Amino acid sequence: MSWGSFVRSADEMLTLILALVTGALGGRFDARETWQQLYLVGVRSLPIVIVTAIFAGGISAIQVSAHVVRFQAYDAVGWGFGFVVFRELGPLLIGLMFSGRVGAFNAAELGTMKVTEQLDALRVLAINPLNYLVGPRIVAMVVMMTALVMVGNVFALLGGMLTAQVLVDVDPMVFWISLTDYVRPVDLFNGLVKAGLFGFVIGLVSCRHGLAVDGGAPGVGRAVNQAVVASALGIFCFDYLVTAILP
């Protein structure tokens, strides 16, 4: 990416954010569409989030167990696990999957609407696409991403406990006590802050790339590709910022 195109895309992004903030402050986001998006985003991503969470829990339990086995510190499994999953791996893996499921879908949908002139159709019906389409989608992604990480935490915990019991023979009760003894509410909260921010990044990036589609079906494919790549960069960047700012 050249410097000029970077400046241009940063400028576009700022214009988009500014227009959305104006729309949000004026209460101009379409309420019906927001409810519908909340439902659709939730339905679309719940199964994949649950599967991801169970495996993320399993993976974390395995990796923590590898340490624990070496140091014979079985009562630390729950702590290590809870910390890794709630604060880091849960939001991160669910965020990446959410970006693939919801973000990519969103970029494709808006891109298709752009190439088939449905966005222009909204404009000539005197409906602002930013307030009708984009705003509700971003709101829905922020809210649902936070909610899904909460649900995901529960399933990750189940996956982790099960894995720890089957593979390293850690009693679920021991696991649970060590988890509740050491993991603080702030760790959970930290993960949810990340989730909300990831939802915002995914929403903003996928909408921006969807709206910028040019050139038919190949353009839609390219936009989805760029959207998921840019979302992943955004996710890691915000992950770092939250970790550095909220210890």
Partner 1 sequence: MSAQTRVFLGNMAFVIKKMMGRKKTDRASRLRFWSALNDVGINSVFFIVITLGFVGTIMMLHGGYQAARIIGDSNLVGPQILPLMIRQLGPTLAGLMVATRVGTGMAARIGSMVVTEQVDALRLSNACPVNYLITPSWHAALVMVPILSIFGITAAFFSGMLTAYVVFETAPGVYADWSFVSGLDAVEALIKSISFGAVIPLIAGTCGLSTHGGSAGVGRATTNAVVLSSLAVIILDFFIGALILGLR
Partner 2 sequence: MIEFKNVSKAFGDRQILKGVSLTVDAGKVLFVIGKSGAGKSVLTKHVVGLVRPDSGAVLFDGVDVSSWTEEQFYPLRKRCTMVLQHSTLFDSMTIVENVALPIRKHRQLGWNAALETATSYLNDVGMAEYAKRMPDTLGDGLRKRIAIARALALQPQCVIFDEPTTGLDPQSAIQVDGLIRSLADRFSVTCIVVSHDLRSIFSIADRVVMLYQGQVLLDGPADVFRRSEHPVVKQFMSGVPDGPMEL
Task: Give residues in contact with partner 2 (CB under 8 A).
Answer: 30, 32, 109, 113, 116-118, 120-128, 132
Among 15, 36, 116, 180, binds partner 1 (CB under 8 A): 116
Among 231, 225, 223, 226, smallest CA distance to 201 is for 231
Positions in 182-221 near partner 1 (CB under 8 A) = 182, 216-221
CB 142 within 8 A of CB 200: yes
Per-residue interface string for the shown chain with partner 1, residues 131-170, x marking contact by CB under 8 A: --------------------------------x---xx--
SS3 per residue for 206-244: HHHHHHCCCCHHHHHHHHHHHHHHHHHHHHHHHHHHHHH
Asked if 232 interacts with partner 1 (CB under 8 A), we say: yes
CB 3 within 8 A of CB 114: no
Q: Answer with the entry of partner 2, partner 1, none that 75 interacts with (C-beta below 5 to 8 A by kind).
A: none
CB 62 within 8 A of CB 162: no
Positions in 36-65 near partner 1 (CB under 8 A) = 48, 51-52, 55-56, 58-59, 62-63, 65
List Cβ neighbours of 15 (8 Å cut-off, separation of 6 or more).
none
CB of 102 to partner 1, least distance (A): 9
Q: Using the minimum distance from each CB to partner 2, give the nearer residue, 25 or 124.
A: 124
